Amino acid sequence: MPGVTTSKSAGNRCIFGRPARIGKGDSNMPQVAQPFFKTGIVWLIVGIAIGLHMGISGDHRAFPAHAHINLLGWVTSTLFGGYCALNPAKAQRKLAVAH
Ligand code: HEM
């Protein structure tokens, strides 16, 4: 239909309008962003495990560790990854790579 963009005419695009490519090592995301996302997910799993343990046992003493693992580990790591993913030029800089 004229004037209507279908998924076929637009091609497969990611949420940022870039062509979406699926497959390991075949993404537009800067390389440096990936370790941040992966590390963040590891922290999230650990943080949620501690949260669930506190909830189930009723012993909330570990909440400072839980809060810091979730907020510093998962949230900040994912924020760094997101920043690098959205700023590919800056993600190439020495400081970002060293970080
Ligand atoms: C299944 C997931 C989660 C469970 C079962 C869970 C469970 C809990 C429990 C039982 C507490 C202790 C509450 C208290 O004694 O006052 C707590 C505290 C807290 N959680 Fe979670 N949590 C989960 C996910 C998260 C996530 C994803 C975040 C952050 C991104 C988070 C951040 C915090 C913070 C900041 C506190 C401290 C709150 C306070 O000072 O009272 N939690 N959580």
Question: DSSP for 63-99?
Answer: HHHHHHIIIIIIIIHHHHHHHHHH-HHHHTSHHHHH-
d(CA 9, CA 15): 16
Determine the Cα–Cα distance for residues 41 and 55; give it in Å rounded to an integer.
Answer: 21
Decide if 21 is inside a domain.
Answer: no
Distance from residue 22's CA to the centre of ligand 1 (Å) = 34
Count of domains observed in the chain: 1
Determine the pLDDT at residue 5: 44
71 within a domain of the structure (yes/no): yes
Mean pLDDT of 16-41: 76
Asked if the structure places residue 33 within a domain, the reply is: yes
d(CA 75, CA 99): 16
Q: Flag whether pLDDT at 44 surpasses 60.
A: yes
Q: Using the atom order of ligand 1, give the atom closest to the CA of residue 74.
A: 30
Tokens of residue 29, six digits: 């995301």
Q: Indicate whether residue 87 lines ligand 1 (CB < 6 A).
A: no
Which ligand 1 atom minimizes the distance to the CA of 55? 10
Is the model's pLDDT at 76 over the cut of 80? yes
- Whether residue 14 lies inside any domain: the answer is no
pLDDT of residue 86: 92
User: Which pair of tokens denotes residue 13?
Assistant: 């695009």
Answer whether residue 13 shows pLDDT above 80.
no
24: in domain: no
**Enclosing domain of residue 85:** 29-98
The answer to whether position 1 is within a domain reads no
Residue 47's pLDDT is 98
Is 66 inside any structural domain? yes
pLDDT at 97: 80
- The first and second tokens of residue 75, run together, are 């949230």
Residue 88 belongs to a domain: yes
On the question of pLDDT at 90 being above 70, the answer is yes
What's the chain's average pLDDT?
83
**Is the pLDDT score of 20 beyond 90?**
no
Tell me, what amino acid is at 25? G
